[in-house]
């Protein structure tokens, strides 16, 4: 027998052969497109730290949703930038910028677009923290009450899925209870289950103006050194009735995406965050990498690791070329 018996190159001989043996596939229908809406502007702006990402006013918002929908992307994730912040984040609930955006999109698109909305406090609090600050501490259980109010206000406006990202213990249970009590039993929850204390969020914090004004997020976000702790976070959410778990960020956390896929039978989402996007954008701008090729490879890797869906700032551009 000649050596080697198994030549893996046999199945790589042509494009068609490679297509035939392909083991994972990405399509536009796997993508969730983040959408930023800002209260105090009348014309759209480019997010400086995340070039190519728009910050939109309410006016004309539906044109952008039409574009996203036309690309075959089934879902959006709304983030609001309010004109006022206060201690308890009151502009996050009631008829705020996100609630207005939700009802506008819902009345124009109905079931043709899955509307997801971020449920958090950091854009809305003067502290810039994801929960209510008491002195220098973030009060978990007080924060739960507000997060539940925000989720209910989104549901009242017509959201399909609420996506808590505050990393407060018990946030899924608190939100599920409030939604059910409000008659919103069909509104799903996609929790940022294992959201890590990451440096990859920096461009988003610039764009959404939500950087913490004192301290950091280490008392609530998961340390990026702790894989088992990340799984406990996801397990807690599953036990609290979450519909979709999420691992965030994505590219430096592929091991956790794969592990969550193995452990849980709910869909697993991955959030490829602003820093992942900005690194590719910056390197491409300098001519060091090919943006399209890098995007394809990164998203394919996240899918291969086990993500059922990916929140990515590349959603619109990628929808045009992925296969």
- What are the residues binding ligand PBG (CB under 6 A)? 118, 120, 122, 130, 165, 201, 204-205, 210, 217, 273-274
For ligand PBG, give the closer residue by CB, 106 or 205.
Answer: 205
Across-strand partners of 309?
A: 269
Nearest distance from C-beta of residue 40 to ligand PBG, angstroms? 20
Establish whether 195 is a catalytic residue. yes
Catalytic residue among 85, 195, 281, 316: 195
Nearer to ligand PBG, 274 or 295 (CB): 274
Q: How far is the CB of 217 from ligand PBG (least distance, A)?
A: 6
Rounded CA-CA distance 274/247 in Å is 14
Read off φ and ψ for residue 182, nearest 5 degrees. -85, 5
Nearest distance from residue 323's CB to ligand PBG, in Å? Answer: 25
> Contact, 302 vs 272, CB < 8 A?
yes
In this chain, which residue has its C-beta nearest to ligand PBG? Answer: 204
Take residue 246 and report the two structure tokens written for it: 């999420």
Q: Which uninterrupted H or E stretch holds 142? A: helix 140-157
Q: Which is nearer to ligand PBG, 105 or 278 (CB)?
A: 278
CB closer to ligand PBG, 148 vs 273:
273
Q: DSSP letters along 57-125, please?
A: -STTHHHHHHHHHHTT--EEEEEEE-S--BTT-GGGSSS-HHHHHHHHHHHHHGGGSEEEEEE-STTTB
Angstrom distance (rounded) from CA 44 to CA 28: 25
Alpha-carbon torsion 85, 64, 295, 29, what sign? positive
Q: Which is nearer to ligand PBG, 211 or 266 (CB)?
A: 211
Measured from the CB atom, is 17 or 282 closer to ligand PBG? 282
Alpha-carbon span 147 to 120, nearest angstrom: 7
What is the Rg, in whole angstroms, of the alpha carbon atoms belonging to the chain?
Answer: 20
Closer residue to ligand PBG (CB): 210 or 256: 210
The answer to whether 92 and 72 have CB atoms below 8 angstroms apart is no
Q: Does 248 qualify as catalytic in the annotation?
A: yes
At closest approach, how far in Å is the CB of 14 from ligand PBG? 39
- How far is the C-alpha of 270 from the C-alpha of 32, rounded, in Å? 10
Please, what is the minimum distance in Å from the beta carbon of residue 171 to ligand PBG? 11
- 188-195 and 161-164 as β-strands: parallel, antiparallel, unpaired? parallel
* Cβ 65 to ligand PBG shortest distance, Å: 19
Task: Supply φ then ψ for residue 122, to 5 degrees.
Answer: -65, -30
Q: Which residues are CB-contacts of 1 (< 8 A; sequence separation ≥ 6)?
A: none
Least distance (Å) between residue 41 CB and ligand PBG: 20
Active-site amino acid positions: 195, 248
């Amino acid at each position: 027998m000649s050596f080697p018996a198994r030549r893996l190159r046999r199945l790589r001989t042509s494009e068609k052969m490679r297509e035939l043996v392909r083991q994972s596939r990405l399509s536009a229908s796997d993508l969730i497109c983040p959408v930023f809406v800002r209260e105090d502007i009348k014309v759209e702006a480019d997010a400086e730290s995340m070039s190519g990402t728009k910050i939109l006013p309410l006016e004309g918002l539906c044109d952008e949703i039409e574009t996203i929908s036309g690309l075959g992307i089934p879902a959006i994730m709304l983030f609001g930038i309010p004109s006022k912040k206060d201690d308890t984040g009151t502009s996050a609930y009631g008829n705020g910028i996100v609630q207005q955006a939700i009802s506008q999109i819902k009345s124009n698109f109905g079931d043709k677009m899955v509307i997801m909305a971020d449920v958090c406090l950091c854009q809305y609090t003067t502290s810039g923290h994801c929960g209510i600050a008491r002195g220098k501490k973030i009060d978990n259980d007080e924060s739960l009450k507000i997060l539940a109010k925000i989720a209910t206000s989104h549901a009242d406006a017509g959201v399909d899925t609420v996506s808590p990202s505050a990393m407060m213990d018990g946030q899924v249970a608190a939100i599920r209870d409030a939604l059910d009590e409000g008659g919103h039993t069909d509104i799903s929850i996609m929790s940022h289950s294992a959201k890590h204390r990451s440096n990859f969020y920096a461009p988003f914090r610039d764009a959404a103006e939500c950087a913490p004004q004192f301290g950091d997020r280490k008392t609530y976000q998961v340390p990026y050194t702790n894989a088992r702790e990340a799984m406990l976070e996801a397990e807690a959410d599953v036990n609290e009735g979450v519909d979709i778990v999420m691992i965030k960020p994505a590219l430096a956390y592929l091991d956790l995406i794969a592990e969550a896929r193995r452990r849980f039978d709910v869909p697993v989402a991955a959030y490829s965050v602003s820093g992942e996007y900005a690194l590719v954008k910056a390197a491409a701008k300098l001519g060091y990498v090919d943006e399209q090729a890098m995007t394809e490879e990164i998203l394919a890797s996240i899918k291969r690791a086990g993500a059922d869906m990916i929140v990515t700032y590349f959603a619109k551009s990628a929808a045009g070329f992925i296969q």
